[in-house]
Structure 1
Amino acid sequence: MNQYRPSSYQNLPSVIKNLLIINVLVFLAQSTIGSSGTVNMEALFGLHHVKSPLFQPWQIVTHLFMHGGFWHLFSNMFALWMFGSELEDMWGPKRFLTFYFLCGIGAALIQLLWLWFQWHDLVNLFSTIKMHPTPEGFVAFYNQYGLNGNPGASLVLQNYLSDPGNVGNESSVLQYVSAFTYSMLSEPTIGASGAVFGVLAAYVYLFPNRELYLYFVIAVKAKWIGLAYFAYEVLSAFQNSPTDNIAHWAHIGGGLVGFLLVLTWNRNDRKNFY
């Protein structure tokens, strides 16, 4: 069987429609309330490292409705509509909504694990310095995180090193190190991409031979696009480029959770692919 046609296919089923509306409304709030400086929505609702002073448990869900710009929003919502509509028609709204949030939460947990690993050394060194501030500790911190290249930071350190016994100097350099640490830990992860990658994984698993059109011209089977995209995400995640601000591990986490869920739900019908 090469084609799947649900009996009552909807181009915009209810859950997809409401997710689109909510995401657009939140983006409008980001663009108005958030940009006015009244409320820092990314600080409140974006996902942060668990050691960040900005971290709150609700961010595991709320970050799914935040986006970094129009094209970030558009690409996620387009993919959600393109791949999710057929899944919702097949599963029904309740199961699809459950699937969507499980993928998004799974992506958030994987991203938090990655952030813990990524900043493990920074957190440990900062904790040591806070408990036992020493000239050697501050110099090591500056050298490891390149703070010597900042004239203001260097001046604070030099003042401290010239008189380590001065409580004011020690407080100043500790304050600078604290601000740097918390700024690294408080970089938010936002977007529905993790949940959308779960939707994509389910679509590719259930409809591996469905032809998709790259640039609306080149026909490629869904399974090859899915495998290529996942390979790209894994490669990018391990490269860990400092200029790359994409949460590749959230994408990978959402895709893996989506694949495992649909594999489990479809365990009694593994011979039926479309």
Structure 2
Amino acid sequence: MNQSPFASITPVVKNLLIINVLFFIGSYVLERAGINLDVLLSAFYFNSPLFRPWQVVTYMFMHANFPHIFFNMFALFMFGPTLEYIMGPKRFLQYYFITGIGALALQMLVQAIEVHGVIGSFTVANRDIGPYVNYAGFNKLKEIYYGITLGASGSIFGLLLAFGFLFPNVEMMVLFIPVPIKAKYLIGGYIVLELIGGFGQFAGDSVAHFAHLGGALFGFLLLKYWRMQRPDNFY
């Protein structure tokens, strides 16, 4: 009798998968009833009139569309159980949330620097961007103050970093690439692409690259702080 591929999912990963899917379904259902959870639960810039403290956590469970949640949950399903087994459930859950919050922290830091570049301050007086009449500056402030950050991608990048850090020589197959690539090269290359995307600020790019980088950065710092090492007999 074939065993279900879901039988090996560890408890924390399983619950995170369920919660993310419930949030996604709930957002879709409530949107049809005129309730926009994106505004309530996604993250806004800390000085935005739409920012609420709980968004620092809830934004991790919101997703823009099906491909967004699918690829994040697929990565959680693929890499999460191994990392939960190595770290233990409690530390894995801490890692997941700390990297997610760290991802948002870096994203907001970059936004604050951009705001400062427009008005010479990190916050807008009375949270009113109207007086800043320069067209380019106004649009930039509008994008920062009323744009949302959402998704588990920051935490997922933390997981990818952890996997590449703990299992650098594990060979992985990638779609459209016919040869296996070691995790350290594949994940390292992915992080470099995020750096290029973040600093390049290409037109039409709505991906929060610095949130991804923040998840990887905080993941690396946590692993070093915890002095995590791969067991010799694993893989």
Q: TM-score, normalised by structure 1?
A: 0.74
**1:114: how far off?**
1.2
The alignment partner of 1:81 has SS state of helix
Q: TM-score, normalised by structure 2?
A: 0.85
The alignment partner of 2:133 has SS state of helix
Aligned ranges for residues 133-212 of structure 1 at < 5 Å? 141-145=133-137, 184-212=144-172
* 1:59 and 2:51 aligned: no
Q: Distance in 2 between matches of 1:183 and 1:243?
A: 12
**1:181: how far off?**
5.0
The alignment partner of 2:172 has SS state of strand
Deviations 1:175-199 (A, max 9, x none): xxxxx95564121100000001001
The alignment partner of 1:118 has SS state of helix
Pick one of 180, 197, 206 that aligns with 1:245.
206
Q: Distance in 1 between matches of 2:59 and 2:212?
A: 13
Q: Is the 8 A contact 1:49 1:112 kept in 2?
A: yes
Partner of 1:258: 219
Shift in alpha-carbon separation, 1:123–1:45, aligned structure 2, 3 A: farther
The alignment partner of 1:141 has SS state of coil
Looking at secondary structure, tell me which structure has more helix per residue: 1
**1:47: how far off?**
0.7
Q: Distance in 1 between matches of 2:119 and 2:51?
A: 15
Q: Distance in 1 between matches of 2:187 and 2:112?
A: 28
- Count of aligned pairs between the two proteins: 225
Shift in alpha-carbon separation, 1:143–1:245, aligned structure 2, 3 A: closer
Q: Is the 8 A contact 2:106 2:211 kept in 1?
A: yes
**1:259: how far off?**
1.2
The alignment partner of 2:147 has SS state of coil
- Seq. identity, %: 41
**1:146: how far off?**
7.6
Shift in alpha-carbon separation, 1:62–1:257, aligned structure 2, 3 A: same
Q: Distance in 2 between matches of 1:92 and 1:270?
A: 13
Structure 1 runs of 4+ aligned residues shifted over 4 Å read: 121-131, 180-184, 269-274
Query: What is the one-letter code of the residue matched to 1:22?
Result: I
- Structure 1 residue runs of 5 or longer lacking an equivalent are 1-9, 132-136, 148-179
Q: Is the 8 A contact 2:42 2:62 kept in 1?
A: yes
Pick one of 196, 207, 215 that aligns with 2:175.
215
Q: Is the 8 A contact 2:48 2:127 kept in 1?
A: no
Deviations 1:140-193 (A, max 9, x none): 72444488xxxxxxxxxxxxxxxxxxxxxxxxxxxxxxxx95564121100000
Q: Distance in 2 between matches of 1:66 and 1:246?
A: 14
Deviations 1:17-44 (A, max 9, x none): 000000000000111102432x221111
- Structure 2 residue runs of 5 or longer lacking an equivalent are 1-6
Shift in alpha-carbon separation, 1:50–1:255, aligned structure 2, 3 A: same
Shift in alpha-carbon separation, 1:35–1:237, aligned structure 2, 3 A: farther
**1:16: how far off?**
0.4
Q: Is the 8 A contact 2:166 2:230 kept in 1?
A: no
Aligned ranges for residues 20-169 of structure 1 at < 5 Å? 20-37=17-34, 39-122=35-118, 127=124, 141-145=133-137
